[in-house]
Amino acid sequence: MQRTISWQNPTQYTDGTPIGVEGGTLFVHVWKDGIEVYQTLPNVTTFPIEVTPGVTNVWQLQAELNTQKSDLSPEYSYTAPFQKPMFPEAISIS
């Protein structure tokens, strides 16, 4: 099942200096349960991910700018709910 993870890209370096236009190309690495599973296209803020209904996964993100990587973001747990079917209709007994 596909979902979309979204985030806000960093606007400053760890020392508080703003990342300007000349900052370079920003990529985001997407981690699922401690394993890097995706790398985004430059400067995006959403990405399609695969989840399994009823399974809890832990997601983390990591920014990369000019080959320098950030620490991993805080963990974000997500469980895709099971979809419940409608009840049967047109019940009859013969």
Total-model pTM: 0.81
Task: Between 82 and 78, name the one with better pLDDT.
Answer: 78
At 4 the pLDDT is 95
Q: Could you read off the pLDDT of 20-65 as tens digits, one per residue?
A: 777 788 999 999 999 999 999 998 999 999 999 999 999 999 999 9
The fold of 2-15+25-79 is Immunoglobulin-like (2.60.40)
12-21: Cβ within 8 A, 24+ apart: 14/70, 19/65
Domain limits, the chain: 2-15+25-79
- On the question of pLDDT at 10 being above 80, the answer is yes
Per-residue pLDDT band for 82 (boundaries 50, 70, 90) equals confident
Spatial contact of 58 and 34, defined as CB atoms under 8 Å apart: yes
Instruction: Name the pLDDT band for 85 (thresholds 50, 70, 90).
Output: confident
The β-bridge partners of 57 are 78
